[in-house]
Amino acid sequence: MKRSRWSMLMVVAGLVLSVFSANAQVLVESVAAIVGNEVIYLSDIENGVIDARRGNPRIPVADVRCRVFQELLIAKLFVDQARIDSIQVTDDTVEGDLNMQINDAIRTAGSEKALEDYFKKSMVEIRRDIRKALVEQQVVSEVQGSITKGLAITPNDVKRYFNSIPKDSLPVIPSKVQLSIIQLDPPNNEENKAEARQKLLNIRSEILAGKSFSVLAVLNSEDGSGINGGEVGYKLKGELEKPYADAAWSLPKNAVSKIVETKYGFHIIQVIDRKGDLVNTRHILIRPKVKREESEKALVKLDSLTRLIRKDSLKFEDVAFRFSSHLDSRINGGKFVSTNPSERINWFSLDELNKEMYGKVRNLNTGEISEPFQTTDEIGNIVFRVVRLDDEVPAHRANLKDDYQVFYNAALMSERQSSYQKWISKKIETTYIKISDELKSCKFLEAGWLK
């Protein structure tokens, strides 16, 4: 937790420090370099050095200073080109990213005041500085996109890239599998839900009678927050399930909500604190239990369906579409895919599967279907599944046949970097550049920066 909090603050610190000099109260300060119409101040570099050495203070200062200086010079080349090409990025363009950065920083720092104390700046100043840095980042991205527009690579390019890698440097790719599943939810779940609600009502009555919400969360909550007394931390409204968020935003501080149902189960909620668009809550989660006879009923039904599939009386895909409760896979005939909408990958390493899935899949041959088993779904609720192993790539040293897409992406990135480097070299030749004498000892400047 401490490492994650520190990392988040470092991201924001980098953005804030990168524009510190532009907003400095002292108007007279040393100019480190001029690139076209852009100026780099010595404080830009020194603040970057401070930021970089926080993560690794043992790196020699001189090496870090030259690296930071090089990065700033290159960034200013792109920004200067954006001016020439009339590429503009408005504040509105980065507003979404800005809010996300600010809210994440407040959440990890603990409060707006803690963030202000960390940077020794007001929230208005922090917000202004991060916005300026994000706009510049977007400008650089726009120019880079114009440089590599239309860039494409051929299979021969990918092959040449692969052959350029020393064979003993090729990574070992872990075993990956493609799976299909049929999932059933517990039967008679309304009765189980009613029992979960009643248990939570009893806990709520204890809290209203004076018992500690936090202590009862430790004893009863059926999720990872229980160990922290039910506290889930500062969240934006959009980060929470809608029924939970609606309840949290309507509650006065320290009040206890009525029973709230989400896809995770049943909650009672208490608001701890509010900071702008963020709310910190604690909750107690109770999930519906599944009785032994209900488990047996679900497993018998799955077994019957699986037998019909093995006899070719039914197709796996048709059964998945008709009976499976796993919405992400049933529309694809049972194909198991990542729940992350930005990925939607369908190749998994075994260690990405939960222990029940792992235990079944590792003993299957390609095309085989497992026996029915009980497990938990992606949000922790009890479900019943059979799984089919559709395809498998054993653990192997990376090669072009099995891992073409990996090397295609790497080759494309290499070509982009090469295009950027060629553009930078030409841009240096045609751009007015002046370097301060105190920084001319950096080795990289010999590549055309000094004029």
Tokens read off for 369: 């279907």
User: Same domain, yes or no, for 8 and 130?
Assistant: yes
Task: Flag the least confident range among 115-129, 211-225, 286-300, 437-451.
Answer: 115-129
DSSP bridge partners of 335: 180
User: Same domain, yes or no, for 425 and 316?
Assistant: no
User: Same domain, yes or no, for 383 and 243?
Assistant: no
Cβ-Cβ contacts under 8 Å for 374 (sequence gap 6 or more): 295, 299, 356, 382, 383, 384
pLDDT of residue 339: 65
| pLDDT tens, position by position, 152-204 | 999 999 999 999 999 999 999 888 999 999 999 998 778 899 999 999 999 99
Is 237:282 a contact under the CB 8 Å cutoff? no
Report yes or no on 227 lying in a domain.
yes
User: Same domain, yes or no, for 337 and 200?
Assistant: no
Amino acid at 260: V
Segment holding 33, helix H or strand E? strand 31-35
User: Same domain, yes or no, for 260 and 306?
Assistant: no
For the cut 50, the answer to whether the pLDDT of residue 23 exceeds it is no
Cβ-Cβ contacts under 8 Å for 270 (sequence gap 6 or more): 213, 230, 251, 254, 255, 256, 257, 281, 282, 283
Q: What is the CATH number of the domain that holds 220?
A: 3.10.50.40
Average pLDDT over residues 244-253: 94
Question: How many whole angstroms separate alpha carbon 13 and alpha carbon 19?
Answer: 10
Report yes or no on 269 lying in a domain.
yes
The residue among 242, 262, 286 that closes a domain is 286
Task: Flag the least confident range among 92-101, 270-279, 312-321, 322-331.
Answer: 92-101
For the cut 80, the answer to whether the pLDDT of residue 340 exceeds it is no
Cβ-Cβ contacts under 8 Å for 6 (sequence gap 6 or more): none
User: Same domain, yes or no, for 430 and 359?
Assistant: no
pLDDT of residue 3: 42
Report yes or no on 404 lying in a domain.
no
For the cut 50, the answer to whether the pLDDT of residue 296 exceeds it is yes
Report yes or no on 171 lying in a domain.
no
User: Same domain, yes or no, for 72 and 202?
Assistant: no
Between the CA of residue 269 and those of 52, 110, 195, 401, what are the distances in Å? 41, 20, 19, 53
pLDDT of residue 16: 52
Q: How many CB atoms lie within 10 A of CB 246?
A: 14
pLDDT of residue 22: 43
Domain that holds residue 336: 176-186+290-397
pLDDT of residue 8: 47
The residue among 286, 307, 338 that closes a domain is 286
Q: How does the average pLDDT of the chain come out, rounded? A: 88
Average pLDDT over residues 317-326: 95
Helix (H, G, I), strand (E, B) or coil at 82: helix
Q: What is the CATH number of the domain that holds 110?
A: 1.10.4030.10
Sequence-ordered strand ranges (E) for 289-368: 348-349
pLDDT of residue 29: 60
User: What own/partner pairs with CB < 8 Å and gap ≥ 24 does 106-113 have?
Assistant: 106/234, 106/275, 106/276, 106/278, 107/233, 107/234, 107/235, 107/278, 108/4, 108/5, 108/8, 108/9, 109/5, 109/9, 110/234, 111/273, 111/275, 112/275, 112/276
The rounded percent of the chain whose pLDDT value lies above 70 is 91
Most confident of the following: 20-24, 56-60, 231-235, 300-304: 300-304
Report yes or no on 98 lying in a domain.
yes
Report yes or no on 87 lying in a domain.
yes
User: Same domain, yes or no, for 71 and 13?
Assistant: yes
Report yes or no on 423 lying in a domain.
yes
User: Same domain, yes or no, for 180 and 320?
Assistant: yes
User: Same domain, yes or no, for 252 and 264?
Assistant: yes
Average pLDDT over residues 47-68: 84
pLDDT of residue 189: 77
DSSP string, 417-434: HHHHHHHHHHHHHHS-EE
User: Same domain, yes or no, for 25 and 60?
Assistant: yes
pLDDT of residue 218: 96
The residue among 234, 255, 286 that closes a domain is 286
Burial of 419 (0-12, 13-18, 19+ CB in 10 A): middle
- Domain count of the fold of the chain: 3
Average pLDDT over residues 357-373: 95
Average pLDDT over residues 47-61: 80
Average pLDDT over residues 369-377: 96
Sequence-ordered strand ranges (E) for 330-422: 348-349, 373-376, 382-393, 396-397
Question: How many whole angstroms separate alpha carbon 438 and alpha carbon 446?
Answer: 15
Report yes or no on 122 lying in a domain.
yes
User: Same domain, yes or no, for 59 and 46?
Assistant: yes
Average pLDDT over residues 242-256: 94
How far does Cα 138 stand from its chain's mean position? 20
